[in-house]
Chains A and B, each alone.
Chain A
Amino acid sequence: MREMIKMVVVLTILSSFSGGLLAAIRNSTKDKIELQQLTFVKGPAIKSILAGASNDPIMDRFKIEHEGGTASFYVGVFDGAADRVAFESAGKGFGGDLGLMVGVDIKDDKIIGVGVTTHSETPGIGSKAKSDPSFTKQFEGMGLMDTFQVKTDGGQVDAITGATITSRGVAFGVTQAGALYKSLKPQIEAKLKDFK
């Protein structure tokens, strides 16, 4: 019996000590990890969407809390005016979640670019959503508040050959982005005033 209690006590103390240590380290590295992920995972998409901006969109970012969570917005300054933002959205692809970055011009609500950040689609087929820019380029210039669908579903977007589900996922993600943008636009405009 004594041995039994000792086992329980030792394991409990060890686990709680380990938990405490990990929580402390997680807290102290959290911001750094977020910045690294921004630079290496989302960075390329943000940079290509906001190409030509005179500022660094990754440094000039702000967060808005909404019902579904927190959204990060990356600001692009063009000709001295901070009027373009990129933000994240997500869709459901063939192999799992599709992470998207959608850029919009707040003057006319038109899409300036869409990029895939993370995906687990079939290499060579669904992965073209990320590697072949001609698919995501279709969205450029369209109104972000529209509903997007692939042509086989009666929409306006040409699907990637052999990857209808991936294409649907992207279209859905952009539609979601539009809904989010619509509901947060006043707050986005208010925040952008600080970036002049």
Chain B
Amino acid sequence: MAKSIVQEFTKGLWEEIPPFRLVLGLCPVLAVTKTVENGIGMGMATTFVLVCSNILVSSLRKVIPGKVRIACFIIIIATFVTVVELVMQAYTYPLFLKLGIFIPLIVVNCVVLGRSEAFAFKNGVVRSLADGLGIGIGFTLALASLGAVRELFGNGTLTIWETPIQIFGPSFQPFTFMVEAPGAFICLGLMLCLMNLVGSK
């Protein structure tokens, strides 16, 4: 019945990978994955918030009264999101400019609140840490892979450390719609479909 700590960690990478399996937190998934770099940046910011809020929520779970738990979760999450925002402004300003409003919006990301409510509030600190880290890395991987597909076909490049690398060469005609909003939905749908195909066997 009870999963081991390793299982709590690995479930986030495949079984419960947030955007594809839980279909949660779609707003940043669709909005920021125009390039791989944006996806990774957003994923890392979310991972940090997830891990920290999971640890704090689970260590305070005996103290927080059940009736105001959501308010407490939001305070904790919002605090860490603001920390991320300030640190990003101080150290990775160009990335902060690109992600813009979506960094503060991590506060209302269902993945983060969902893990606090569904997991950290009922489990110990170490398990919550493993859960947060797993889900966070899964989220990052999902964003990065979606970003990679969209950037590759939409722009013919892959951006790593602010240097776009040409993959298809100059004669490639990009499917620009892939980097626009409809492309995000179609791409997400195709990836979901692919995951279900592989998973159902």
Contact = CB atoms under 8 A, between A and B. Distances in A.
A7 B68 contact: yes
B194 interface: no
A6 B67 CA distance: 11
B105 interface: no
A10 B86 contact: no
A1 interface: no
Interface string A14-29: 1100100110011001
A119 to B, nearest CB: 15
Contact of A32 (B64, B71, B90): B90
Given A18-B79, A25-B86, A10 B72 contact: yes
Contacts of B78: 18
Interface string B112-156: 000000000000000000000000000000000000000000000
A6 B72 CA distance: 13
Contact of B90 (A3, A7, A14, A33): A33
A36 B96 CA distance: 11
Interface size bracket, B side: 20 to 34
Given A36-B93, A37-B93, A15 B86 contact: no
A71 interface: no
A26 B64 contact: no
B65 interface: yes
Contacts of A22: 79, 82-83, 86
A36 B94 CA distance: 9
A14 B93 contact: no
* Residue among A3, A6, A29 facing the most chain B CB atoms (10 A cut-off): A29
A29 B87 contact: yes
* Residue among A11, A26, A36, A40 facing the most chain B CB atoms (10 A cut-off): A36
A156 interface: no
A39 interface: yes
Given A3-B67, A7-B67, A29 B86 contact: yes
A92 to B, nearest CB: 23
Contacts of B71: 11
B75 A14 contact: yes
B91 interface: yes
A129 B137 CA distance: 43
Interface string A25-53: 11001001100110110000000000000
18 contacts: A3-B67, A10-B63, A10-B72, A11-B71, A11-B75, A14-B72, A18-B75, A18-B76, A18-B78, A21-B83, A22-B82, A25-B82, A25-B86, A29-B90, A33-B93, A36-B93, A39-B93, A40-B93
Given A11-B71, A14-B60, A29-B86, 12 more contacts: A10-B63, A10-B64, A10-B65, A10-B68, A11-B72, A11-B75, A22-B83, A25-B83, A33-B86, A36-B89, A37-B93, A40-B93
Interface of A: 3, 6-7, 10-11, 14-15, 18, 21-22, 25-26, 29, 32-33, 36-37, 39-40
